[in-house]
Amino acid sequence: MDSPSSSFTQAQSSVMPSATQEVSTPVSEAWWKEASVYQIYPSSFKDSNGDGIGDIPGVIEKLDYFKNLGVDIVWLCPVYPSPQVDMGYDVADYCDIDPQYGTMADVERLIEGLHSRGLKLLMDLVVNHTSDQHKWFRESKSSKDSPYRDWYIWRKPRYDENGERQPPNNWSSYFGGSAWEYDSASDEYYLHLFAKEQPDLNWEHAPVRDAVHDIIRFWLDKGVDGFRMDVINFISKQDGLPDATVKIPGAKFQWGDEHYACGPRLHEYLQDIGKILKEYNAFSVGEMPAVQDPKEVIKSVGESRAAISDAPSVDMDHGDGGKFSPHKWEMQDLKKIVNKWQTFMYKNKGWNALYLENHDQARTVSRWASDKPAYRALSAKMLSTFLCFQSGTVFVYQGQELGMANMPADWEMTEHRDLETLNHWEELKQTTGSDAAVLEIARKEYQLKSRDHARTPVQWDSSTNAGFSAATPWIRVNDDYKEWNAAAQVAKPDSVFEHWKSALALRKELKDIIVYGDFELLDEENDDVFAYARSNGVQKVVVVCNFRDREIPWSPPVDLHSGKVLLANNPEVNLSQKTVNLRPFEAFVCQLH
């Protein structure tokens, strides 16, 4: 699960930046601030054995691809044994590998292959909850007297005025319905913030924390460089588990994040983990959903904690009724979010993680820009430019560097595999009596926001199944793969891949300005153009992005006449006039002299 706000934590490292800053800033240098991260969703990355599912040997085949792109860290989504209810985020054993992905020996080969290329590996660690098939939960559920009973959060039912049994509180699950599942054998409910097959661990219970620490040490001893920790700020729940404030009138269940997002003991738990990471010179990326207040985030991402957090822009098109309710995003929303997090983190010695796509977010060319043939490459390059020159550590999701798009609008619901989407669809049919108009609105929202869009197989070439697999893939390959694929882009001038490669390289070349400099939003009131400046006090770089599919006359608030264009998605950028006519989805990076 991924959502609005994430953080990146780093234990002390012996690796130091290769250059010193020309001008002192509030920001201390660290190698991970200069790094970029490539996220792999293994089921959809590359299938090596012809079973239609991506695997670890498939990742190993592409090690030189990562090196060519210019990333520094590879983040591997869960590959542990799992019933796959939520695509591996329901873990049944933290210290083994699911056979569909490979073996422990494959992981060891992956680590060796990355390290030999100067790259690092992040493993995904999912410890807010387990699978209901994990031995801990099976033991916990077996008896109220089980020594594992307190490893999970069990509560007695409540009863309404009619004597009907009700869940212990009104919290909703992120996947629909109540966050509580009734167990008739013990007449108690267990908490699951996600699927009912994903029971939440009870972090108040010391043996749970000890077990998680053992898991962390197990993988660090294998040579893993760190972890991406799933919804890590949900692990501390408020005492008493009180009812959520009613924010959706008429709904039986309500979002309860006020009672578990950054709970009372979170920072204590994170400090314990940080001590272990420090022993190994390891680092972690911690996902922090449902946190909007920068002051709360800085507790986890201040300089003393060496951590980073991303701006919560990915949910700005969510309506009042949740992710799949309509809401048109506005440029002013994006500007306020980016400006808030960029400036606050810089002034308070925090750090941003920068991402637009991941395994839980739809493709940005389709969602924020345009995937029409005339504009798709321009859109993908514009979004890359927009992201890569902000302050923070850049995250690239597989296929994003190729401009991969959402699934076609004419695909049927039968093509979907995502639990979140399918549960919402079934719940909507039941609650509306399959109202055609309501279902059509939902279909349009799925077309923009379903997690399945990020999970179609990576398009490697124009051969059968886009070179992903010799077998029928577990999820359908996008119909556009013959034109949009890696083979058609790598080493091809003006491709989306090469633009990403250039952007990542330029970011490192100008790290004194881009990585460590300050941020200034330009032309704040403009609803079409997102422009910002980065400066280290001596040098300044201006980034300009037209988010529209039409030409926009733009009057720069700074003098660009003497500027040198370092990167652009259109040839011949003309800065000689007072008004710059920005072409559809035009973007460029300009260094002022």
Question: Which of 230, 257, 310, 480 is flagged as catalytic?
Answer: 230
Angle at 311 between CA 308 and CA 314, to 5 degrees: 130
> Is there a catalytic annotation at residue 230?
yes
Task: Name the pTM for this structure.
Answer: 0.90
Are 591 and 409 in contact, with CB atoms under 8 Å apart?
no
Q: What is the dihedral of CA 179, 182, 187, 192, to 10 degrees?
A: -40
H or E stretch at 568: strand 564-568
State the Cα–Cα distance between residues 196 and 194, nearest whole angstrom.
Answer: 7
Domains in the chain, start-ordered, CATH in brackets? 6-130+206-404+492-498 (3.20.20.80), 135-191 (3.90.400.10), 518-592 (2.60.40.1180)
State the Cα–Cα distance between residues 163 and 166, nearest whole angstrom.
Answer: 9
Per-residue pLDDT, 423: 86
Question: Which of 225, 287, 445, 452 is flagged as catalytic?
Answer: 287
Are 578 and 555 in contact, with CB atoms under 8 Å apart?
yes
Per-residue pLDDT, 321: 58
Residues of the chain with pLDDT under 50: 2-24, 304-311
Question: Is residue 258 helix, strand or coil?
Answer: helix
Per-residue pLDDT, 353: 82
Tokens standing for 342? 């960029």
- Residue 527 CB coordination number (10 Å): 12
| CA-to-CA dists, residue 53 to 50, 104, 243, 452, angstroms | 8, 17, 41, 15
> Is there a catalytic annotation at residue 461?
no
Tokens standing for 222? 């294998």
Residue burial 25-45, b: 16+ Cβ < 10 Å; e: rest: bebebbbbbbbbbbbbbbbbb
Handedness of CA 212, 216, 221, 224 (dihedral sign): positive
State the Cα–Cα distance between residues 394 and 411, nearest whole angstrom.
Answer: 32
